[in-house]
Amino acid sequence: MLQRFVSGSAIAGLTIACAVFGLIAATPMFALQKPYLLPLTWCFMPVVWGVWAMLTPRSWMPNRLPLWGAILGLLLSLNAAFVLNMPKQVFGDYMRIRWRLAGVIGISIGYYLLWMIVRLVYRALTPAEPVHKEFKAAA
């Protein structure tokens, strides 16, 4: 369980850092006071990713982990695009439904790709299988 939490949280932390640098680079385009929900959401992302990694079904570990991450991306992006109306909050203008749906699809694909990295980190944190006594005796 701890390996799942750590691998999910580590990649989320790196994602937050990259997003903050992107936001700082894009500061002239819009005022930083408008997207107050965005930094708040970013603060909770490592915890959400870690808990989501811990909730992964055992049979999905680690091969289907990117699909599990895409499901998280779909849930979060649907919530952000339609419930919280983040495009209006960030850009101050109404966005058409098709652009919101395109964002949902893009975010889900992005989450799939990021969770491929989570799978790599999980595998790197998993200890090598112990050598059994029979194999030691044969050597």
Buried b (16+ CB within 10 A) or exposed e, 102-137: ebbeebbeebbebbebbbebbeeeeeeeeeeeeeee
DSSP string, 53-108: HHTS-GGGTTTTHHHHHHHHHHHHHHIIIIIS-HHHHHHSS---HHHHHHHHHHHH
Using the predicted structure, report yes or no on whether residue 77 has a pLDDT greater than 60: yes
Q: Is the pTM of this model over 0.85?
A: no
Which pLDDT value is given to residue 105?
Answer: 93
CB 44 within 8 A of CB 62: no
Structure-block tokens of residue 17: 């850092």
What percent of the chain lies above the pLDDT cut of 70?
Answer: 76
pLDDT tens per residue, range 84-101: 777 777 777 788 888 889
Q: What's the pLDDT band for 71 if we cut at 50, 70, 90? A: very high
pLDDT tens per residue, range 36-68: 656 666 677 777 888 888 888 888 888 898 999
* Calpha distance 98→86 (Å, rounded): 15
Structure-block tokens of residue 107: 């975010």
